[in-house]
Structure 1
């Protein structure tokens, strides 16, 4: 018989810590040897009559301290302790064996993800499927055979006309259709700019932390990426000047991932720097349509009188990511260079999607959709902030609120962001740390995550944060 009852512990110490210490003792005493597979969370929680969260917390503490390892689609195993003697018989081994026979499942399956807080997910239930289908069908009528061929290398003229009008009204961007270039995603746009400026020995400044997807493109093209620290109001202009870079990529209307909105006065100083240094600014306005208090911040490009700003935007956040469509507005001086150097580059975005989107914009559906989604996301944004404060308020600091589709949350914990991510996943929650957005991570005693709210209902947001509190609380 197993020398341990389902209520195997005494005292006031939390159950998960008592279970954790029990396994520590068994592993250290070689009664659970290297390679021993532990029972599934469900099997052990059922055998001991404790919650699955208790077992998960114990396992993840063992995982964090290196006693066990997680093998994909297989479960948890005792790590190699350099022990090659015979397997001793002990309480730990009995617990493993008896708990394992409590379930008919031969192999524990990974916990399915119920709540996904990805920062770029959009609401799938409010996409205007009928209107989009209508315009696509209209494009695909037999009399429109031209859409079956290659289109304009800069993008469909009708879409560029609609986009120029919209950007002027909504974002204050100064653009003619001739200045606009359409492409399949922001990384494609950045690649084109990389080729335009030349890839040999060029230095480009980027916010630190900043968007890793763009950084990867510049690195692959051979650019010298120079990280520029952030001040409270955005990129540090003194450090930018000292960097010697003639190109800078920034997200001034909602800095990724900090959420800082660059104020008007600093925007003017940044433009002055570009004029004096003869530099170009790549302004990525990736989610500028969504601001929840006050009006959307006008673009930096709209303040530019010297032709030093390249404006970048995308339809991924406001419409749908799968359309893979972004755009840039080139200053006239760069447009001439683009047409000379990159005239042989074919259009990368679907012509059919471009024609569909042009009709969607021409008939007013785009701006109606933006207004509807802004109202919806404002409610979700408020629900996320309320849930975070209510459930985790004493352990977190929220940044980057009031705009975009995500907020950044700094967490007070001795665990690493990777460990907290794994702990959340074990409870069916997917969270996204920001560590990879730094070139030189700073150790300030906190780990940070971006919490997106676009792709979940308000009820899912609230339930997900409640469950996350249960999973993380032992580690905060």
Structure 2
């Protein structure tokens, strides 16, 4: 039997499709005996397990049967149309949600892979590589796997992890919460999505900072919200520019505004809470990297000032540990607790119990905060190296917005327009330097050329090696 594999996907799936095509074109009619698995594997240069898997799939679909001692036989004819699945069906969006998702989200962002040849990438969101953490985490996972119950976890999250988070927040962020207030989620993305499901109907108004984290804005838009941006300055969001129309939801990053780095002043925090009270509005506080401050201890969270139960406090372990650990949490207002937990249950029945158990023990044992202290020292060194390098090559060509916190800096290219930036980034890429525009984080594209420079994923040595390349980029841009 001549079979042609199409090269798409696993070998067993390719072989299954090839066998279907052979059956559909009459090369083996009803009742015909198929080649023995060992012989077919030898003829095609495949493993016998691959052939066995393909035969088992055909048996499961009812196209062949195995007879003990006799072999495998075709039991049902197959139409050519049924075998030809090389071209998947193209369909328009089936719902308004799907239509909005196609219009708003660029699938290219899903992979976020680096172009070939990039040696030094200042991309925000790259993990801080820490071999000691890798070893400690492997140990915690092995320990948790040995005793974690194999059944579905509590959709709200393991009690041990929720208790550990409450203890941590009380000491480090000034947030007083009970374990029943905490919902374990798969990172900030899911926290925002669940909040949008619970709080927003299509067409409702949602306020974001301008600029803001692009993914947060896109989630709200995909859920059908009318997104309104409110400007920020050096003291954070400007409450006097809030809309007169009552928004259902206001999303803020008060401890370290993303991406500008501003800290929302105490006066403005109080004004924002008063606004929420007057307008019957909910506030989502995204505390994405509030643990990392380099000029003082971390500020108390906005949630700690909330007396009306209107703030949803969102934290994540993607920045404090690593992004592949899809765990975060929401400290829920009492009034929304049932709705948020139900939304989480409906979406995925709960986050991984083994990883939750590992994280709970890591926090309870003190390992998490030891890691935070080490990470803060490392990030401080990298930040200092980046600032030193930028000042050395600037020659008046750069405006550096130093935020004294977090894992990134905003750098503006003086005298350059946003329209100039694509050519500048392309030249940097040819040199092996990954620079990244701040443009996606604006609702209204800025006129100036701005960069978002993350330093978490580069060592001090790499940052220093990258600076001469950046200097060449600036020289070319101003030639």
TM alignment of 1:249-268, pairs within 5 A: 249-268=251-270
- Determine if contact 1:182/1:347 at 8 Å carries over to the other structure: no
- In the alignment, which residue of structure 1 is the partner of 2:436? 432
Q: Closer, same or farther in 2 for the Cα pair 1:193/1:359, shift >3 Å?
A: same
- Determine if contact 2:410/2:452 at 8 Å carries over to the other structure: yes
Counterpart pick for 2:406 among 404, 407, 418: 404
Find the aligned partners of 2:322 and 2:432 in 1 and give their Cα distance: 25
Q: Closer, same or farther in 2 for the Cα pair 1:366/1:125, shift >3 Å?
A: closer
Cα displacement (A) at 1:167? 0.7
Q: Closer, same or farther in 2 for the Cα pair 1:127/1:453, shift >3 Å?
A: farther
2:139 counterpart of 1:137: no
Find the aligned partners of 1:271 and 1:474 in 2 and give their Cα distance: 48
Deviations 1:106-155, CA, capped at 9 Å, x for gaps: xxxx86111011121232134422221111111122xx251x32101011
- In the alignment, which residue of structure 1 is the partner of 2:20? none
Secondary structure of 1:321 counterpart = coil
Secondary structure of 1:242 counterpart = coil
After superposing the two structures, state which structure 1 stretch, 453-462 or 345-354, moved more. Answer: 345-354
Find the aligned partners of 2:351 and 2:400 in 1 and give their Cα distance: 37
Deviations 1:155-193, CA, capped at 9 Å, x for gaps: 111111101110111011121111111111211111111
Counterpart pick for 2:424 among 420, 423, 440: 420
Q: Closer, same or farther in 2 for the Cα pair 1:127/1:280, shift >3 Å?
A: farther
TM alignment of 1:85-234, pairs within 5 A: 112-141=117-146, 144=147, 146=149, 148-234=150-236
Find the aligned partners of 1:275 and 1:133 in 2 and give their Cα distance: 46
- In the alignment, which residue of structure 2 is the partner of 1:460? 462
Cα displacement (A) at 1:400? 4.1
Taking structure 2 as the reference length, the TM-score comes to: 0.73
Find the aligned partners of 1:473 and 1:349 in 2 and give their Cα distance: 49
- In the alignment, which residue of structure 2 is the partner of 1:94? none
Counterpart pick for 1:364 among 363, 366, 370: 366
Find the aligned partners of 1:346 and 1:474 in 2 and give their Cα distance: 51
- Determine if contact 1:432/1:450 at 8 Å carries over to the other structure: yes
Secondary structure of 1:124 counterpart = coil
- Determine if contact 1:424/1:472 at 8 Å carries over to the other structure: no
Cα displacement (A) at 1:418? 1.9
- In the alignment, which residue of structure 2 is the partner of 1:302? 304
Q: Closer, same or farther in 2 for the Cα pair 1:338/1:316, shift >3 Å?
A: closer
- Determine if contact 1:120/1:452 at 8 Å carries over to the other structure: yes
- In the alignment, which residue of structure 1 is the partner of 2:446? 442
Find the aligned partners of 2:262 and 2:408 in 1 and give their Cα distance: 12
Q: Closer, same or farther in 2 for the Cα pair 1:231/1:347, shift >3 Å?
A: same
Cα displacement (A) at 1:341? 5.9
Find the aligned partners of 1:394 and 1:232 in 2 and give their Cα distance: 21
Cα displacement (A) at 1:340? 5.7
Deviations 1:241-271, CA, capped at 9 Å, x for gaps: 4353131001111111111111112111111
Secondary structure of 2:263 counterpart = coil
- Determine if contact 2:118/2:432 at 8 Å carries over to the other structure: yes
Find the aligned partners of 1:282 and 1:239 in 2 and give their Cα distance: 18
Find the aligned partners of 1:341 and 1:458 in 2 and give their Cα distance: 43
Find the aligned partners of 2:238 and 2:138 in 1 and give their Cα distance: 46
Cα displacement (A) at 1:339? 4.4
Deviations 1:9-32, CA, capped at 9 Å, x for gaps: xxxxxxxxxxxxxxxxxxxxxxxx
- Determine if contact 1:127/1:319 at 8 Å carries over to the other structure: no
Compute the RMSD of aligned alpha carbons: 1.7
Q: Closer, same or farther in 2 for the Cα pair 1:367/1:342, shift >3 Å?
A: closer
Secondary structure of 1:283 counterpart = strand
* Paired positions, count: 362
